[in-house]
Homo-oligomer: A and B are copies of this chain.
């Protein structure tokens, strides 16, 4: 864990459950399910395969032009959205069955990793507050970026945005 990430997170005056969700090094879906005690569902906003540009290739540690899965989803507990998540996953690093799950259906990433029994670690990168027009309209968001690492390579790059408001009083 980058000590700056942790210190920054601890300094924020935000609801405890939001801080936990934004700081966890475990599965967010699973955490939301425990927090809310409601079933958590994924709604896919977009999902397609494309070629990595130079910057993305550097981020993921693959060759420029490699195929990546680009997925954007919202995580719901019942009717309430708790997170907006974007992921980039190099296809060449993914077992075929995992690729199918990721590309086909509204399955949370935590569940996909768990179904495949993958051993991973999550390396936190950036944490910031965004205001103005966000993925939650006029509501400011806490945005974090991290990588899911498997076999010392980036399996997924993930950006999550969490709305900063009262929905986290759980």
The residues in A between 10 and 46 inclusive whose CB is less than 8 angstroms from any CB of B are 10, 16-17, 19-20, 23-27, 30-31, 33-35, 37
Which of B1, B20, B150 is close to A119, meaning CB atoms less than 8 Å apart? Answer: B150
B33, A170: Cβ atoms closer than 8 Å: no
A35, B16: Cβ atoms closer than 8 Å: yes
Given A25-B26, A25-B27, verify A20-B6 contact (CB < 8 Å): no
Number of copies of this kind of chain in the complex: 2
Q: Which residue of B lies closest to A26 (CB)?
A: B26
- A residues contacting the other copy or chain, number (CB 8 A): 32
A104 sits at the interface (CB 8 A): no
A133 sits at the interface (CB 8 A): no
Q: Which residue of B lies closest to A19 (CB)?
A: B34
Neighbouring B residues of A152 by C-beta, 8 Å: 119
Given A16-B170, A118-B121, A149-B119, verify A6-B34 contact (CB < 8 Å): yes
Q: Which residue of B lies closest to A117 (CB)?
A: B121
A9 sits at the interface (CB 8 A): yes
Please name 5 pairs of A and B residues whose Cβ atoms are closer than 8 Å in the assembled complex, sorted by A.
A10-B37, A19-B35, A23-B30, A24-B31, A24-B34
